[in-house]
């Protein structure tokens, strides 16, 4: 399996996938994911015609045919969008299905004449990298390198075209020309990409790596590098499987691997991933429970004018909370010396008292804000303050205090407890 | 009066429906100028046409007496904040550096001097500490200031800003106003599309009152009269809007754009 030819095929496919995904990343960011899919399908008639004319053995005829069909499809979509009342998605579907239908018709005709073998159809539709001839591979690998170099060269132009096209035009960049170059690169990326995944699954190669990469980074450069890395990894996997197992197409394996990477990214990415979101939610929940407990003890001290200790049974009686949850909250408070466990129960430490005072203060400040600024009735404000007391930051607190002019009493005439300094 | 921007007999359509009818005015240099009018009165269209982003059906615009392409580096454009996707992967510095992009450095790397200018621009809008912040994490007011910093980094003489005061906090509003005054003192010209009548009088020296057609243009004392405001905000002219619908429905061509050639200047 590790003979030199296979290594060459492997490196070639890796390059093909990486280059298409880098171009596709810009389509993804432009919100034009479906245009890539349409172009991929629309290439089929061009590719098959080139297959017939070039006798199936000329990669340059193939590239030329693909370019012709791809550009026609792209400008066809633009024309339909601008000059008819059709919506964008309709225009895309119309062009995609018409071209693809025509391509399939041509393919069937080719097969009937015995001109192309079964492998031809499979290769175009689903990709069969292992079946690619070495001389073809060199041509496509060169094209892939050209694509990567072009993206590097046009980085600033593509970045601005994607982010803010009007601004690009306003500063006098030749935006029509940049867009045309991008379209040509997209068509070439698809031409290169269908060698490994085929027409049907091409959209996945353009879009999935970018979508996965975006969830890991907010830097465009890094996102392009990651997209390429994800696509290359998947391509290697697909090629190895396709070469090891008989009658296995490459494309579906590459796309499945990409899907796996995207899935993992969505689950585990920092900030926006499912896991870190869940962690955040858990953290917020614990914070709320801790602060409510400190508030409870502070309130009792305020009423009785002395330090109060409560056993966990007493607390459960008041808060109607599950004992397990309470023990967890108590443990975390004890660990940070906000509570101390005495013989007669849990009591606030000085640190805990300050924290409890803060929560009570925020609660009362917010109640006052609601009545003063939003004109809410005093008997409607408690539930909202119960939530906001855990959210309000010191900056917002300072704003509220300033806006209300250092108030002394809340709407229920309870004192607002400030820190003495 | 020294002229900055001239707009001559401008008619512009959007989806083949005219949104500006025969608008004609001249703007002075070194002033803060408001383009004011109700929603849908063609303010943004006017700005985009001056920037060459929309093609007029007839008429033309000039900057410092020359077509835009001759003086493009002296003109800066701040699009509406909502016109871009702020989820785009970029940090604040990336966006401000875009103000240094030019046709002749499109393929070149960003230089140290570009970075210095961008940093200076960020400092002017009080966002230097946010230079590495992802743009998706900014507040509306901060986003607006990033756009203005990008524009400052262009080091132009005329600044065209589309609704910079929409949806910004009080701090940003103050920062922008202070900046505008500084720019004016440096002799720059700032043209601002603005829809809020309450503040227009306070912000601007010179006002263009627009409602599909030109209602008035001049120093604010002359333009901000009850009669003229009534005319601009008192609803659209029925005949004009009916005619616009008709032109759009029948796809009737308006006058040719090369109308300029037939007209003696002045």
Sequence-distant (6+) residues with CB within 8 A of A77 are: A35, A38, A91, A92, A95
CB of A98 less than 8 A from some CB of B: no
- Residue of chain A whose Cα is closest to the Cα of B100: A171
Same domain for A30 and A161? Answer: yes
Give whole-number Cα distances, B139 to A388, B135, B168, in Å. 21, 9, 8
CB B151, CB B161: distance < 8 Å: yes
Q: Is A100 found in the same domain as A48? A: yes
3 state DSSP class of B71: helix
CB-based contact A247:A119 (threshold 8 Å): no
Host domain of residue A76: 4-272
Give me the mean pLDDT over the B65-87 stretch. 95
Instruction: Enumerate the residues of chain B whose CB falls inside 8 A of the CB of residue A216.
Output: none
**Which residues of chain B are at the A interface, by a Cβ-Cβ cutoff of 8 Å?**
48, 51-53, 69, 72-73, 75, 77, 79, 83-85, 88-91, 94-95, 98-99, 101-103, 106-107, 134, 136, 150, 154
Query: Looking at the structure, do residues A100 and A220 belong to the same domain, yes or no?
Result: yes
pLDDT digits (tens, 9 = 90+) for B153-179: 999 999 999 999 998 888 889 889 999
Q: Is the pLDDT of residue A43 over 50?
A: yes
Q: Average pLDDT for residues B99-118, to the nearest whole number?
A: 95
Q: Do A220 and B89 touch (CB under 8 A)?
A: yes
Question: Do residue A303 and residue A388 come from a single domain?
Answer: yes
Is residue A287 domain-shared with residue A250, that is, in the same domain?
Answer: no
> B132 contacts in A (CB within 8 Å)?
none
Find the residue in A nearest to B156 (Cα): A171
A173 with B91: Cβ contact below 8 A: no
Q: Which domains does chain B have, with CATH numbers?
A: 3-262 (3.40.50.300)
- Per-residue model confidence (pLDDT) at position A209: 96
pLDDT at B200 over 60: yes
Tell me how many domains chain A contains.
Answer: 2
Residues A366-416 have pLDDT tens digits of 999 989 888 888 888 888 888 889 988 888 888 888 888 889 998 888 899
A313 and A234 in a common domain: no
The verdict on A226 and A294 lying in the same domain is no
The CATH number linked to A156 is 1.10.3470.10
B206 pLDDT higher than 80: yes
Phi, psi angle pair for B191, to nearest 5°: -115, 125
Co-location of A29 and A122 in the same domain: yes
Residues A63 and A168 in one domain: yes
> Of residues B1 and B124, which shows the higher confidence score?
B124
Higher local confidence (pLDDT), A134 or B58: B58
Residues A260 and A288 in one domain: no
Asked if A160 contacts B105 with a C-beta cutoff of 8 angstroms, the reply is no
CA distance A361 to A260: 49
Which site among B89, B107, B154 would you substitute to test the A interface, given the most A Cβ atoms closer than 10 Å to its Cβ?
A: B89
Cross-sheet strand order for the sheet of B3-14: B17-28, B3-14, B58-63
A264 and A278 belong to one structural domain? no
pLDDT given for residue B135 in this prediction = 96
Single out the residue in A241, A272, A303 at which a domain terminates.
Answer: A272
On whether both A349 and A264 belong to a single domain, the answer is no
Helix (H, G, I), strand (E, B) or coil at B50: helix
Would the pLDDT of B32 be above 80? yes
Q: Tell me the pLDDT band of A216, cut-offs 50, 70 and 90.
A: very high
**pLDDT tens, position by position, B213-244:** 999 999 999 998 888 888 888 765 666 667 77
B100: closest CA of chain A, how far (Å): 9
Domain CATH code at residue A370: 1.10.10.10
Q: To 5 degrees, how large is the angle CA B51–CA B53–CA B55?
A: 105
**pLDDT tens track for A278-290:** 898 888 888 999 9
> Alpha-carbon distance B45 to B40, whole Å?
9
Q: Mapping DSSP to helix (H, G, I), strand (E, B) and coil, where does residue B135 land? A: helix
Reported confidence tier of residue A25, pLDDT bands at 50, 70, 90 = very high
For B103, name the nearest residue in chain A, comparing CA atoms only: A173
Q: Give the whole-number percent of chain B exceeding pLDDT 90.
A: 70
* Last residue of one domain, picked from the residues A239, A272, A305: A272
Domain boundary, last residue among A251, A272, A293: A272
Q: Is the pLDDT of residue B207 over 90?
A: yes
- Chain A, 37 to 76: residues with Cβ < 8 Å from chain B are none
pLDDT tens for A157-176 read 999 999 999 999 999 999 99
């Amino acid at each position: 399996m590790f003979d030199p030819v296979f290594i060459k095929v492997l490196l070639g496919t890796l390059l093909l996938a990486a280059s298409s995904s880098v171009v596709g990343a810009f389509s993804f960011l432009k919100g034009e994911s479906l245009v890539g899919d349409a172009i991929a399908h629309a290439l089929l008639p061009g590719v098959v015609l080139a297959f017939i004319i070039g006798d199936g053995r000329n990669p340059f005829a193939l590239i030329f045919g693909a370019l012709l069909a791809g550009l026609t499809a792209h400008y066809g979509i633009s024309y339909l969008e601008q000059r008819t009342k059709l919506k964008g998605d309709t225009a895309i579907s119309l062009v995609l299905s018409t071209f693809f239908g025509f391509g399939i018709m041509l393919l069937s005709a080719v097969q009937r004449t015995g001109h192309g073998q079964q492998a031809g159809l499979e290769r175009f539709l689903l990709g069969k990298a292992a079946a690619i001839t070495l001389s073809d591979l060199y041509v496509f690998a060169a094209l892939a390198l050209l694509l990567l170099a072009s993206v590097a060269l046009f980085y600033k132009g593509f970045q601005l075209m994607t982010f803010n096209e009007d601004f690009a035009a306003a500063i006098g960049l030749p935006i029509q020309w940049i867009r045309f170059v991008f379209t040509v690169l997209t068509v070439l990326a698809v031409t290169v990409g269908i060698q490994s995944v085929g027409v049907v699954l091409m959209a996945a190669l353009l879009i999935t790596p970018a979508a996965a990469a975006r969830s890991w980074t907010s830097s465009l450069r890094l996102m392009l590098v990651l997209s390429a890395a994800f696509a290359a990894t998947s391509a290697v996997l697909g090629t190895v499987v396709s070469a090891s197992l008989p009658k296995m197409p490459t494309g579906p394996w590459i796309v499945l691997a990409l899907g796996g990477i995207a899935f993992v990214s969505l689950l585990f990415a920092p900030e926006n991933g499912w896991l870190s979101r869940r962690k955040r939610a858990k953290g917020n929940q614990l914070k709320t429970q801790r602060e409510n407990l400190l508030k409870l003890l502070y309130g009792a001290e305020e009423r009785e004018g002395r330090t109060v200790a409560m056993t966990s049974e007493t607390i459960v009686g008041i808060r109607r909370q599950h004992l397990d949850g309470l023990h967890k909250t108590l443990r975390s408070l004890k660990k940070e010396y906000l509570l101390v466990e005495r013989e007669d129960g849990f009591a606030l430490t000085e640190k805990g008292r300050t924290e409890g005072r803060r929560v009570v203060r925020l609660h009362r400040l917010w109640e006052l804000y609601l009545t003063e600024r939003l004109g809410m009735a005093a008997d409607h404000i408690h539930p909202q303050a119960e939530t906001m007391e855990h959210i309000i930051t010191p900056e917002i607190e300072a704003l509220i205090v300033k806006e209300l002019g250092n108030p002394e009493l809340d709407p229920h005439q309870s004192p607002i407890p400030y820190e003495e300094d | 009066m020294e002229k900055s921007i001239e707009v001559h007999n401008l008619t512009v359509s959007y989806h083949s429906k005219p949104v500006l009818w025969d608008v004609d005015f001249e703007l002075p240099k070194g002033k803060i100028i408001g383009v004011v009018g109700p929603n849908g009165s063609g303010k943004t269209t006017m700005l985009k046409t001056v920037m060459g982003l929309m093609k007029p059906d007839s008429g033309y615009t000039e900057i410092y007496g020359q077509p835009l392409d001759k003086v493009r580096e002296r003109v800066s454009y701040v699009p509406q904040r909502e016109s871009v996707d702020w989820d785009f992967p970029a940090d604040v510095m990336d966006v401000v550096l875009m103000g240094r992009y030019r046709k002749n450095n499109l393929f070149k790397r960003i230089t140290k001097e570009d970075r210095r200018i961008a940093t200076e621009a960020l400092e002017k809008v009080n966002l230097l500490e946010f230079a590495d912040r992802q743009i998706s994490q900014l507040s509306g007011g901060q986003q607006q200031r990033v756009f203005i910093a990008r524009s400052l980094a262009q080091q132009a003489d005329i600044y065209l800003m589309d609704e910079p005061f929409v949806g910004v906090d009080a701090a940003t509003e103050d920062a922008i106003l202070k900046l505008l005054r500084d720019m004016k003192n440096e002799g720059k010209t700032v043209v601002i599309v603005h829809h809020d009548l309450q503040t227009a009088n306070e912000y601007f020296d010179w006002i263009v009152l627009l409602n599909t057609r030109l209602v008035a243009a001049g120093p604010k004392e002359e333009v901000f009269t009850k009669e003229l405001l009534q005319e601009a905000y008192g609803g659209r002219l029925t005949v004009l809007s009916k005619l616009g619908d008709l032109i759009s429905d029948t796809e009737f061509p308006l006058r040719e754009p090369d109308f300029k050639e037939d007209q003696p200047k002045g």
